[in-house]
Amino acid sequence: MIDLDILLAWGATYKKLAPEEVLFKEGNPCSFYYQVMSGQMRWVNINEDGKEYLQTLVEPGECIGELPLFDGSGFAATAIANKETSVLRLHESVFHQLLKREPEVHFAFTRLLTQRLRFKFFLLKEVASHEPENIITALLKYLKERGDHVCPNCNQIKLTRKQIAEMTGLRVETVIRVMRNLNERGFLEIHKGKVYFGDKKEGIRKICTA
């Protein structure tokens, strides 16, 4: 998101997280800008029963928890490390100074927030259809078109069935059943437990050249 050299020049520091360690919790005040440098984090809302609703997975180079930096409210969701993860953090006041000095960085955040807002509009529209197959198919198409969580070389979906269920509000069993049906009808391919989604004419599953 922000160039590593720029962050370090402005005084950003590293923080390491163990698997399942919480970086920040929903509702807590925000004091830092966070950018994932290695590993992976999930950004989730957690209900009273402890069930997670996955907002997004955050990969190296992406920021997480940026909303409070712009509106002054608490964190909108909880950030948890999926594996050993390293993040860079920059104090909120310094982050605001950086935005004033670097208009291109400011514009990049405007674009990011717009993209994430569009995704939420898209997901709400699909979930309103109440048809699990439509929801999952539309989500996979959206991710494929944007290159998010889909290998560009072999078309493998990088999200687990559980993560897709958490993202859409569906039951894991429902996601598994729908994917099996889509596999049988040739709309996706399941090979050795991995899911591939691509153009049927060009071949769904390909040899990964990454």
Q: How far apart are CA 64 and CA 81, in angstroms?
A: 11
Identify the pLDDT of residue 128: 83
**Bridge partner residues of 32 (DSSP):** 91
Report whether CATH 1.10.10.10 matches the domain 131-196.
yes
Chain mean pLDDT for the chain: 91
Phi, psi (rounded to 5 degrees) for 14 = -85, 150
Residue 172 is encoded by which pair of tokens? 């894991």
pLDDT per residue as tens digits for the range 150-205: 888 888 999 999 999 988 889 999 999 999 999 999 889 998 889 998 776 666 77
pTM of the shown model: 0.81
Find the farthest-apart pair of alpha carbons in the chain and give their distance in angstroms, rounded. 55
Question: Which residue ranges make up each domain of the chain?
Answer: 4-119, 131-196
Report whether CATH 3.40.50.1110 matches the domain 4-119.
no
Give the residue from 142, 179, 183 showing the smallest Cα distance to 160. 179
pLDDT per residue as tens digits for the range 105-114: 999 999 988 9
